[in-house]
Structure 1
């Protein structure tokens, strides 16, 4: 069993395609398929179900994947640890973030990081808070920036609170509410909304606030990015609620204070199971020591 074979399996699992996996791994598809077939023979089980239209993991493949990721991660950490021992931080840094990060200047942090550690390859993944927590727990990403309702804390990871914020209403410049200095949830409940997908942390804080006030609302549009939310609002299709600290980044819309607005907490989280030198160096820029036992979530 070779590390390269594990890389190929992970790539196919993540792309659901032998063709795209080969492109990602910079090999011809026949070589990738051959190596996976060799591994399947060695394991005595098929890892993928292949049809003309799709590729998906078999139960055996699903069982193999987490261990393969751990093995590959351990090998990459070993190489990075050796480099760190001779004074060089290198390897790969995977950072997750929600679309509305506002508590830190992430581009600025990455600029400083890149100046200090030019050998590290950086990968940013945008996702929902609950997905990012799972990815940190699984070791897929090293650190993530989240936004959660005040009723929730990240579980199973190290966490540090970065900031607390309240949501503001976001409307088109020609909307009847645009001239108001403040608005209530009750008044907003009469509007059509665009929001993040149901059951995501970013959506939950608003849903809970309306429910607590005994109100319902019409969420006619569900999108996954704050950019799309603001564009739909700009077109007058809906109104939205977004964090006040993020609102200055928006263009083409008007923001209004909400008198009984829900709040959110921004966190940075990282793994409890040990961090790579590249991740430790990133956390240090946030004035976090990765093995600080006092920062459990």
Structure 2
């Protein structure tokens, strides 16, 4: 790494708070927003980063009137800074866990259509029991979340996968299976139907997840197995945008039946030969933080790195 050999001050260390400031600026691309996140005035944050840059002998950020971005040195510094901050926070949380206090940070990944678990309800209970834990929710595609759990940047995640796919390299528990339903605008010709086939749907324009994502594959496989093709004119990354495009009559969609009741402004229709989606919760095979163990315990999952595999 370009700068790790020189990540030292005169006393032999870089302050953790300076690292937190660098991480915040890198993630927000703004000194102003980074200062707001870190609950400090911008001048103090800027001063500490400038001081760190002098000590390192390298600029970490390129600053213009329009944007802030990492330099080559900054890009090299950032992963090590994250590791140091994460290690310090984990060490503090582990010590607290020994004396019976669960604190620290919990990073949870989820797809936008998670329905097998009442996640807001679980988080409400978790928050009541462990108010010192700071929770970070990250939405993403199932395959991305699996990689993030493997890498340790996400501690637990909720996925939706086709029946042909299994989470690999992580601990996993199957939560539920659910068939997809068609979602159309209220004034769509199909809205009055009680059920529809894939063949009939294949004549419609679709909005769906991006190609080759797990959520898209389950529908693509179903149409292909029936010898059908379809026109996916719109690709989006979350269910809210999907439903809004459907509401405007721009396309139809297929979404999990357990999730569909949350939608407004659209009509759902049963699909006679619909594909099935499997929801999983996954967690790392490495030792978990006390916060992650406590969260999984609320789901009745032991979560000690040796859970069941889907």
**Structure 1 length normalisation: TM-score?**
0.90
Gaps of 5+ in 2: 1-13
Please state how far the C-alpha of 1:294 moved relative to its aligned partner. 4.2
Q: Is the 8 A contact 1:197 1:223 kept in 2?
A: yes
Point out the more displaced range, 130-139 or 24-33. Answer: 130-139
Point out the more displaced range, 153-162 or 185-194. Answer: 153-162
Query: Are 1:29 and 2:29 matched, yes or no?
Result: no
Please state how far the C-alpha of 1:296 moved relative to its aligned partner. 5.2
Q: Distance in 2 between matches of 1:44 and 1:211?
A: 58
SS at match of 1:275: coil
Structure 1 residue aligned with 2:108: 95
Q: Distance in 2 between matches of 1:269 and 1:294?
A: 9
Select which of 133, 137, 140 maps to 1:124: 137
Gap change, CA 1:43 and 1:295, over 3 Å in 2: farther
Q: Is the 8 A contact 2:284 2:305 kept in 1?
A: no
Superposed, 1:57-96 pairs within 5 Å as 57-96=70-109
Q: C-alpha root-mean-square deviation of aligned residues, in Å?
A: 2.2
SS at match of 2:174: strand
- Number of aligned residue pairs: give it: 297
Q: Distance in 2 between matches of 1:137 and 1:22?
A: 31
Please state how far the C-alpha of 1:82 moved relative to its aligned partner. 1.9
Gaps of 5+ in 1: none
SS at match of 1:238: coil
Q: Distance in 2 between matches of 1:93 and 1:41?
A: 34
Gap change, CA 1:39 and 1:139, over 3 Å in 2: farther
Q: Distance in 2 between matches of 1:60 and 1:273?
A: 30
Gap change, CA 1:46 and 1:212, over 3 Å in 2: farther
Select which of 208, 230, 251 maps to 2:243: 230
Query: Are 1:208 and 2:208 matched, yes or no?
Result: no
Select which of 113, 119, 123 maps to 1:106: 119
Q: Distance in 2 between matches of 1:75 and 1:152?
A: 36
Query: Are 1:6 and 2:40 matched, yes or no?
Result: no
SS at match of 2:210: coil
Q: Distance in 2 between matches of 1:152 and 1:42?
A: 50
Point out the more displaced range, 86-95 or 7-16. Answer: 86-95
1:6-59 CA distance string (max 9 Å, x none): 111111121122222122112222322332233334444433333333222334
Q: Distance in 2 between matches of 1:85 and 1:241?
A: 47
Please state how far the C-alpha of 1:246 moved relative to its aligned partner. 1.0
SS at match of 1:140: coil
Please state how far the C-alpha of 1:147 moved relative to its aligned partner. 0.9
Structure 2 residue aligned with 1:54: 67
Select which of 172, 193, 216 maps to 2:206: 193
Gap change, CA 1:134 and 1:30, over 3 Å in 2: farther
1:122-175 CA distance string (max 9 Å, x none): 232222222322333333332111112223222333222211222111112332
